[in-house]
């Protein structure tokens, strides 16, 4: 699941991922907290791996992930969303 964290008076964002099988936690630091900044950071990160290494990604329902469809299509990954209150 991807989860954004905002630090330093709402100016710095860190995205975290938890890989379910290996239990690895991945962190990314995008340029900003807008949807296009998050999208750029995720697309750049996914470019580093083979095409079908990741099959799915689960987002929370924040507006910073509003470009989910573009991320999913570009990286050929199925997207899911967390139900609020289930994390």
Range of the domain at 41: 2-81
Angle, helix 68-75 to helix 35-46, in steps of 10 degrees? 20
73 pLDDT above the threshold of 80 = yes
Can you name the residues that pair with 12 across neighbouring β-strands? 7
Tell me whether residue 29 is in a domain.
yes
How much is the pLDDT for 40? 94
Tell me whether residue 23 is in a domain.
yes
How much is the pLDDT for 1? 56
**How many domains does the chain fold into?**
1
6 pLDDT above the threshold of 70 = no
Prediction pTM value: 0.76
pLDDT digits (tens, 9 = 90+) for 9-63: 666 788 888 888 888 888 888 888 889 999 999 999 999 988 788 888 888 888 8
Tell me whether residue 55 is in a domain.
yes
Q: How does DSSP assign 4-60, residue by residue?
A: EEEETTTTEEEEEEE-TTT--EEEE--SSSSHHHHHHHHHHHHTTS-TTS--EEEE-
Within a 10 A sphere around the Cβ of 45, how many other Cβ atoms?
15
How much is the pLDDT for 7? 53
Tell me whether residue 77 is in a domain.
yes
Tell me whether residue 6 is in a domain.
yes
Tell me whether residue 59 is in a domain.
yes
């Amino acid at each position: 699941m991807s989860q954004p964290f905002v630090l330093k008076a709402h100016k710095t964002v860190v995205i975290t991922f938890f890989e379910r099988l290996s239990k690895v936690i991945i962190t990314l630091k995008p340029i900003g907290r807008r949807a296009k900044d998050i999208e750029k950071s995720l697309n750049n990160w996914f470019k580093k791996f083979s095409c079908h290494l990741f099959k799915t990604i689960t987002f929370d329902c924040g507006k910073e992930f509003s470009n989910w469809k573009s991320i999913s299509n570009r990286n050929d990954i199925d997207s899911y969303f967390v139900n609020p209150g289930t994390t």
